[in-house]
Chain A
Amino acid sequence: METDTIKSGQWVALQRENYVKVVQVTEKSHISLGRDVVELGNLLGKSVWSTYSMEVAKRIRGERRFQLVECPISEYEQSLVQVLVDDSKDTEGKDNRFIKDDGQSQKLSREAIVGMQAEGVSAKDIVGQLVENSSTFEQKTVFAQEKYVSKKQRKYKKYVLVRPTSNRLVTQALCNLSPQEQNPKHMSLRQDSLSLIVSLSGVQATTRPSTFLLFESGSQGMVTSAMIERLSATSDAHLVVLSCARGNDKTVAIQAMNYSPELLSKVHYLSLSEFLKSATECGILPQKENCEKQEEGPPAKRANSDYEAEVSLVMERLRSDKAAALIVVAKENPINVCTHLLPLVELSRPFIIYSQFKEPLQEAYMKLKADKNVTALKLKEPWLRKYQILPERTHPEVLMSGSGGFILHGLTVESA
């Protein structure tokens, strides 16, 4: 078990059953976990891998506030299915022909159940009572009994696992936020599309200087964070993150990873308009005949010297070695950003454009094809399915993600 202890300001992942949330721990911080509000102060000084039970701390305007009380791992791990379902019994011939959905099978009243919860009765005892007072439980097959108990366990077992964050968990936490929404906050990015973008980009810790060019908007910094992880504090690979406004370095996805200052010194956040202006001024981008004004974002608030130094460092790097890849992940139509930035990319290097919609990528496909400075152009739609794996009950999960967005990618080549 990792011996690192949680310090104030540190980010950890909080997991209850299959639900994951990334949180920053301070003395006073509290978060909502489903319908419950949980105070995090108790985590300070505890191990980054540790288990807790949620116990009622106080009521604020009728809302229950929970605090986390460290518990033995055995308690956290206890599976109610093992305790409450006797799988040795023969279930041959059992089915649901006598089970009626008349709402009468549970003899315990709602008040009695809520009362037990308020008194802090353990999940094992509550679910045990539910099973005992269910007139249909015994008629169910063992498989159905297991399903019933695990469903109740998810509802009543208030235990939490605290663990170190990782990009896998961050993606899980951010993508699970709004599965129902048509226009989710993460632009349909999914674990498979995100990993494909990162993989195709070829981002890696090189010993010789290399610079990766990323434009990200609308995906909460998930791509930036996943790419930063592939750099290394001891290598000479840098990441330039362009966006319409500054402040992209403060997204949850990046902060949650607790990256070291040494690693973060390889990452440069610049505004797109200022970047294009500087690149044109210092001659690494050709002067456009009619500068497209609509592209420019809000003017820089105040040029400070740190930012200036950052800009000139990036220009210097791109002057000696052109970019090793271009990645555009945008909620807007990406075509302008892409065609403006492509001349900065070295020949025979990958470019990747991600969009939630396929229409802008179709347009980009035709435009790039006509420009003749790319090859191996492909439009792809990732597809992902999860499975329930159980003896004699293996099948795809009933709910699946309907879209993981679209990826257009190819390689830069000498223009024909």
Chain B
Amino acid sequence: MSFPEFKTKIERGDTVILYLSVTSIFPLQVEPKMTNKKGSLVDNIFQTVYGALRVSDLEGQRYGTKVALSKGWALVLAPTCDLWTQCLPHRTQILYTPDISLIVAQLELRPGSKVVEAGTGSGSLSHSILRTVKPDGELHTFDFHEGRADAAREEFALHGYKEPLVRVAHRDVCALGFDPVAAASVDAVFLDLPCPWDAIGHARKVLRPGGRIAIFSPCVEQVVRTKEVLLKSDFFETETIECLCKELSVQYRTHGKLHLDGNEEQERYLTSLPCASIPGHSGFLTFATLKPWATPCRSPILIS
């Protein structure tokens, strides 16, 4: 329950981020007991490389402070969307913060916005959408995998996001559309599907005139096909972007300055270097606006 509001003290039921190092971040649900593999209730003990943590000991601690582990310490942090994205349980490939930020901004989301998302996946983007549209907005999120839809619904509830703010449905939107979302009722649609063009007609139906759509696709061929269908479905100002974020490692470097007489002088300076290997591609983001003068349609336009 530590997502929708800022908290300073850890309470039972909170989701806490246990921060050991940049590459070692874990989400913890603050409950004194947990069910083990055999299905029996046992004490909730979390094992780390620095030793064990009795999770119930976190209750009453302050966020942003250190907790002792049996062989060291860790930081307990309040969850943010960025931290959650870095450590959430992967049920699918996920979207990362640079893409998520751009999607939320380009969809022009704000408190009160009504949004449709397909598929839900691991809920990485959903958390940022919910943070932006709450308290009176709506997110209708769909996944064609029943287990994933259930897991996401449970996770959102655990984080304090419930109906009517968020509705998770198990549904193949390409075949069946976004029912029960009413026609021309949402401000934005986000699609991350293998064949997004099959869902564009349905998106056209639920979007209000002037509403925004975003489509995430890893391959160029998908983008070309998507754009063709967008233009035939009353969308305009299509734009395709790719964004990355280079992380730079800040360090002091000592460097020899060679003189012409063969002597060397040591120079020390502050610099930052990009990593030798970085994620070079996530996906292409395609954005478009539904023409404000498009007439409302009752059934989706089917484009073969």
Whether chains A and B associate is yes
Which residues of A does B touch, CB under 8 Å?
Answer: 1-2, 49, 73, 163-164, 166-168, 191-192, 194-196, 198-200, 202, 204-208, 210, 226, 229-232, 234-235, 321, 324, 346-350, 358-359, 362-363, 365-366, 375-376, 378-387, 389-391, 394, 406, 411-414
Report yes or no: B97 in contact with A196, Cβ–Cβ below 8 A: yes
Inter-chain contacts of B128 with A (CB < 8 A):
199
Report yes or no: B132 in contact with A204, Cβ–Cβ below 8 A: yes
CB distance from B151 to the nearest CB of A (A): 24
14 pairs, CB–CB < 8 Å, chain A vs chain B = A168-B106, A191-B102, A195-B105, A198-B101, A199-B105, A205-B135, A232-B110, A232-B111, A348-B64, A359-B270, A378-B247, A379-B248, A382-B244, A384-B241
Tell me the complex Cα distance, A361–B4, Å.
31
Inter-chain contacts of A412 with B (CB < 8 A):
64
Inter-chain contacts of B136 with A (CB < 8 A):
232, 234
Inter-chain contacts of A381 with B (CB < 8 A):
245-248, 274
Partner of B19, one of A73, A226, A234, A375: A375
Within 8 A of A (CB), among B204-254: 209-210, 220, 223-224, 227-228, 238-250
The 6 closest A-B CB pairs, nearest first, are A347-B64, A348-B64, A195-B105, A199-B101, A232-B111, A348-B63
CB distance from B214 to the nearest CB of A (A): 12
B12 sits at the interface (CB 8 A)? no
B292 sits at the interface (CB 8 A)? yes
Q: Which chain B residue lies CB-closest to A15?
A: B237
Report yes or no: A350 in contact with B80, Cβ–Cβ below 8 A: yes
B255 sits at the interface (CB 8 A)? no
Q: Which chain A residue lies CB-closest to B77?
A: A348
Q: Which chain B residue lies CB-closest to A208?
A: B5
Within 8 A of A (CB), among B273-304: 274, 284, 286, 292-293
CB distance from A111 to the nearest CB of B (A): 36
Q: Which chain A residue lies CB-closest to B16?
A: A348
Q: Evaluate whether A195 and B64 lie within 8 angstroms (CB atoms) in the complex, with A167-B108, A365-B250, A379-B248 already known.
A: no
Report yes or no: B246 in contact with A386, Cβ–Cβ below 8 A: no
Inter-chain contacts of B102 with A (CB < 8 A):
191-192, 195-196
Tell me the complex Cα distance, A235–B75, Å.
30
Q: Evaluate whether A387 and B240 lie within 8 angstroms (CB atoms) in the complex, with A199-B82, A347-B62 already known.
A: yes
Report yes or no: B64 in contact with A387, Cβ–Cβ below 8 A: no
Interface size on B, residues (CB 8 A): 65
CB distance from A22 to the nearest CB of B (A): 14
* Extra contacts besides A226-B105, A232-B110, A385-B242 (15): CB < 8 Å: A49-B293, A166-B108, A168-B105, A199-B100, A200-B97, A234-B135, A321-B6, A376-B19, A379-B248, A384-B242, A385-B243, A387-B223, A389-B286, A390-B224, A394-B223
What is the 8 Å Cβ interface bit string for chain B, positions 109-149, against chain A (1 contact, 0 not)? 01110000000000000001001101110000000000000
Inter-chain contacts of A206 with B (CB < 8 A):
4-6
Within 8 A of A (CB), among B1-52: 4-6, 8, 19, 22
Tell me the complex Cα distance, A164–B212, Å.
13
Q: Which chain B residue lies CB-closest to A379?
A: B248
Tell me the complex Cα distance, A168–B101, Å.
12
Inter-chain contacts of B238 with A (CB < 8 A):
389
Chain B CB count within 10 A is highest, among A191, A192, A358, A365, for A192
B158 sits at the interface (CB 8 A)? no
Partner of A232, one of B81, B112, B272: B112
Tell me the complex Cα distance, A74–B112, Å.
33
B266 sits at the interface (CB 8 A)? no
Report yes or no: A386 in contact with B108, Cβ–Cβ below 8 A: no
B88 sits at the interface (CB 8 A)? no
Inter-chain contacts of B104 with A (CB < 8 A):
195, 199
Tell me the complex Cα distance, A375–B247, Å.
16
Partner of B105, one of A194, A204, A207, A380: A194
CB distance from A312 to the nearest CB of B (A): 23
B78 sits at the interface (CB 8 A)? yes
CB distance from B44 to the nearest CB of A (A): 21
Inter-chain contacts of B293 with A (CB < 8 A):
1, 49, 73
CB distance from B30 to the nearest CB of A (A): 14
Inter-chain contacts of B131 with A (CB < 8 A):
202, 204
Tell me the complex Cα distance, A148–B292, Å.
29
Q: Which chain A residue lies CB-closest to B295?
A: A1
CB distance from A191 to the nearest CB of B (A): 7
